[in-house]
Amino acid sequence: MKSYIVGNWKLNFTVGEASIYLHKLQKKLPNYRDIEVVVAPSTMALQSLSLQVDRHKMKLAAQNAFYRDFGAFTGEVSFAQLRGVVDYCIIGHSERRHIFGEDDKMVQKKVAAAVRNKITPILCIGETESERAFGETADVIRDQLMGGLADVSDEDIDKVIIAYEPVWAISSTKAAKLATPDEVGEVVKLIQKTLKEIYGAKIEDKAPILFGGSVNPSNAGAYLTVPGISGLLVGGASLILSEFTDIIEIAKRVKS
């Protein structure tokens, strides 16, 4: 299975800054066959970056999109409009869930719309600090996974990526804590168990699982060697080119 290193730029960089970053990144990036490098710029920059990106080296992701293709939905951008512009879309990020009130039903529709429009969804799931403290992690993970994947058929599950991002480990969360590789490993097992319940044993090696939450060059190697982890979703460190390329290098080393 490939490894995925995905940079989520969130609401950072102007279109010009994004273009300069992409230019520099592509210059530094070898053509790795077994590492899929992806960046998720703001929607504003996607159209122009899609003309600049060298798809042999890396791919683009959107950070969000709406599930209806066209219609009276002021302010939204659809997966149908993003078709051909991006290869991936982050869906259900905890910031979408907690700041913009997206629930599992909304996430379910977005995942289905992505698959329908040939865009690979990166379905984000993860518990908050208080959910973990109350022993609800397993239920939250299960509910978010079952909800998000409710419309994804057996044939389509290999077109979905799962990203486990404990909300309490995201660098912008107040008093963020680093997740230990053991904590990550436990949740990965839960995810694998739930996927098997939904899709049966043949799910093995489909639906790659990524980890995200304060990933940087000094902890990337430890997370990448957690059994069942196939890549990283990087926030803050992906904004610093040298850190992002270091993480890609580490992924390459872990792979070989």
161-164 and 120-125 strand pairing: parallel
Minimum CB separation of residue 196 from ligand 13P in Å reads 26
Tokens 């698959």 sit on residue: 115
| CB closer to ligand 13P, 37 vs 199 | 37
Helix (H, G, I), strand (E, B) or coil at 234: strand
CB 137 within 8 A of CB 169: no
> According to CB under 6 A, which one of 26, 48, 171, 245 is a site residue for ligand 13P?
171
Choose which of 35, 112, 234, 248 interacts with ligand 13P (CB under 6 A): 234
**Only segment of 30-38, 99-107, 139-147, 229-237 that touches ligand 13P (CB under 6 A):** 229-237
Stretches 113-121, 131-139, 141-149, 233-241: which one binds ligand 13P (CB under 6 A)? 233-241
Distance in Å, CB of 243 to ligand 13P, minimum: 10
DSSP assignment of 169-199 equals GSTTSTT--PPPHHHHHHHHHHHHHHHHHHH
Assign 229 to helix, strand or coil.
Answer: strand
By CB under 6 A, residue 215 contacts ligand 13P: yes
User: Angle 90-196-203 (CA atoms, 0-180°, nearest 5)?
Assistant: 70
Counting contacts by CB under 6 A, is residue 233 touching ligand 13P? yes
Candidate segments 71-79, 104-112, 169-177, 192-200, binder of ligand 13P by CB under 6 A: 169-177
In angstroms, what is the minimal distance from the CB of 39 to ligand 13P? Answer: 12
- The set of catalytic residues is 93, 165
The site for ligand 13P, by CB under 6 A, has a size of 15
Return the number of the residue (179 or 207) whose C-beta is nearest ligand 13P.
179
- Is 236 a binder of ligand 13P (CB under 6 A)? yes
The helix-helix angle for 137-148 and 181-199 (nearest 10°) equals: 40
Listed in order, strand segments (DSSP E) in 9-119 are: 35-40, 58-62, 88-91
Handedness of CA 138, 141, 142, 143 (dihedral sign): positive
Give the chain's end-to-end CA distance (angstroms, integer): 12
Is residue 219 at the binding interface for ligand 13P, with CB under 6 A as the rule?
Answer: no
Residue nearest ligand 13P (C-beta atom): 235
Q: Binding of ligand 13P at residue 8 (CB under 6 A)?
A: yes
According to CB under 6 A, which residues from 42 to 101 bind ligand 13P? 93
The DSSP string of 124-170 is EE---HHHHHTT-HHHHHHHHHHHHTTT--TTTGGG-EEEE--GGGS
Contact 79, 67 (CB under 8 A): yes
Q: Which two tokens stand for residue 11?
A: 């609401």
Q: Which of 214, 229, 244, 247 is the binder for ligand 13P (CB under 6 A)?
A: 214
In this structure, what token pair is assigned to residue 22?
């992409």
One of 213, 226, 231, 244 touching ligand 13P (CB under 6 A): 213
Contact residues: ligand 13P, CB under 6 A? 8, 93, 165, 170-172, 212-215, 233-237
